[in-house]
């Protein structure tokens, strides 16, 4: 009875009544905090992803009191979802909400997600290496706008969201000034060589918008709409062409070009700087997952030595 009295006092101090202890009520408070970008520090993409996760979580856990969650519920949810990769991301977001709630006195129990995600074995990272031949096939089958997008993504090695929002006013003092949306890393990419030629080529077309990449009407490219349909069309045509030629082709995603850029650079040190990674080991692992680590064979076999002896 004393514990219940103390718990009620804590909830009252936090501004929560017993009927506001549901996960939905706590999530609503979290959203108010998260929408204040200066306060939360969340990127637009992260916030959008978390709203998407909540659409899956709310029907299952929305009415449950936040202190009633148990670790086994996480495993049960993971096992029941058709997409284990998505389920693990959603459960990791639950952990974020629980930690946020505990820090503000909205939750008194321990975080029930802690330790459970290690039991959820999924393949989260991508391991596709896009060959020159694959890119060339898509490039040949693509419209001029998609060709520009492929070139810009490969030459700058930036994430798709950052590539699509690059603006002309970021081109100054002989460099393309970039602030990455995910990590806030700032780069000045020298506008030289093929990158300089690409920007000149885009300008020569006559239809120039605020962003480097735009549709035929001068509007910024988005992940959906014109860009998605045109990139899909180019891959469809490339896949058909590859089948006719009898050569290998993987329907790579636009984001795979970033890994190709890193893999194709002459050193991990230069790749790290261009990708905006904080350590070279991050870049090495990023590349190794796709192309494997380069190793040397045994130069002289032991049994050959024995035969000569």
Mind listing the pLDDT tens digit for each residue in 77-136? 999 998 999 999 999 999 999 999 999 999 999 999 999 999 998 876 677 888 999 999
Asked if the domains 2-119 and 132-291 are classified in one and the same CATH topology, the answer is no
Report the run of H or E that residue 210 belongs to, with start and end.
none
DSSP 58-95: HHHHTTSBGGG--HHHHHHHHHHSS-HHHHHHHHHHHH
d(CA 246, CA 249): 9
Burial (Cβ within 10 Å: 0-12, 13-18, ≥19) of residue 9:
exposed
The answer to whether 210 and 220 are in contact (CB under 8 A) is: yes
Architecture of domain 2-119: Orthogonal Bundle (1.10)
d(CA 47, CA 196): 34
CA nearest 235: which of 256, 261, 220, 262?
256
CA nearest 79: which of 47, 42, 109, 121?
121
pLDDT reported for residue 11: 47
Residues 147-166, buried b or exposed e (16+ Cβ, 10 A)? bbbbbbbbbbbbbbebbbbb
Torsion sign across C-alpha atoms 94, 99, 100, 102 = positive
pLDDT reported for residue 290: 66
CATH number of 132-291: 1.10.443.10
Q: How far apart are the first and last CA of the chain?
A: 86
| Ranges in the chain, pLDDT < 70 | 1-19, 124-125, 207, 288-294, 300-309
d(CA 186, CA 268): 19
CB-side neighbour CA atoms (13 Å) of 244? 7
CB-side neighbour CA atoms (13 Å) of 285? 7
CA nearest 153: which of 219, 185, 198?
198
Residue boundaries of the structural domains of the chain: 2-119, 132-291
pLDDT reported for residue 127: 75
The residues near 104 (Cβ < 8 Å, ≥ 6 apart) are 14
Phi then psi for residue 77, to 5 deg, are -65, -45
Find residue 175's DSSP bridge partners.
172, 190
Q: Residue 296 has what DSSP assignment?
A: P
- pTM for this prediction: 0.69
Write the secondary structure of 35-51 as one string of H (helix), E (strand) and C (coil). Answer: HCHHHHCCCHHHHHHHH
CB-side neighbour CA atoms (13 Å) of 275? 28
């Amino acid at each position: 009875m004393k514990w219940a009295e103390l718990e009620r006092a804590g909830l009252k101090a936090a501004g929560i009544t017993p009927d506001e202890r549901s996960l939905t009520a706590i999530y609503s408070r979290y959203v108010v905090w998260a929408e204040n970008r200066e306060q939360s520090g969340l990127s637009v993409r992260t916030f959008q992803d978390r709203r998407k996760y909540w659409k899956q979580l709310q029907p299952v856990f929305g009415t449950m009191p936040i202190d009633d969650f148990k670790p086994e519920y996480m495993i049960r949810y993971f096992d029941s979802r058709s997409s284990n990769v998505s389920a693990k991301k959603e459960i990791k977001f639950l952990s974020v909400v629980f930690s946020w709630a505990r820090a503000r006195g909205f939750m008194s129990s321990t975080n029930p997600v802690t330790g459970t995600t290690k039991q959820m074995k999924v393949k989260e990272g991508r391991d596709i290496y896009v060959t020159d031949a694959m890119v060339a096939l898509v490039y040949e089958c693509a419209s001029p706008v998609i060709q520009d997008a492929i070139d810009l993504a490969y030459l700058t090695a930036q994430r798709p969201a950052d590539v699509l929002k690059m603006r002309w006013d970021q081109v100054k003092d002989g460099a393309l000034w970039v602030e990455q949306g995910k990590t806030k890393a700032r780069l000045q990419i020298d506008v030289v060589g093929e990158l300089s030629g690409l920007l000149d080529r885009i300008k020569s077309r006559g239809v120039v918008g605020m962003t480097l990449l735009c549709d035929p009407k001068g509007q910024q490219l988005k992940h959906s709409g014109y860009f998605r349909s045109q990139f899909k069309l180019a891959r469809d045509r490339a896949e058909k062409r590859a089948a006719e030629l009898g050569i290998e082709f993987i329907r790579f995603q636009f984001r795979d070009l970033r890994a190709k850029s890193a893999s194709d650079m002459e050193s991990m040190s230069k790749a790290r700087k261009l990708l905006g990674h904080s350590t070279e080991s991050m870049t090495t692992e990023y590349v190794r997952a796709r192309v494997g680590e380069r190793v040397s064979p045994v130069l002289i076999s032991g049994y050959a030595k024995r035969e000569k002896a």
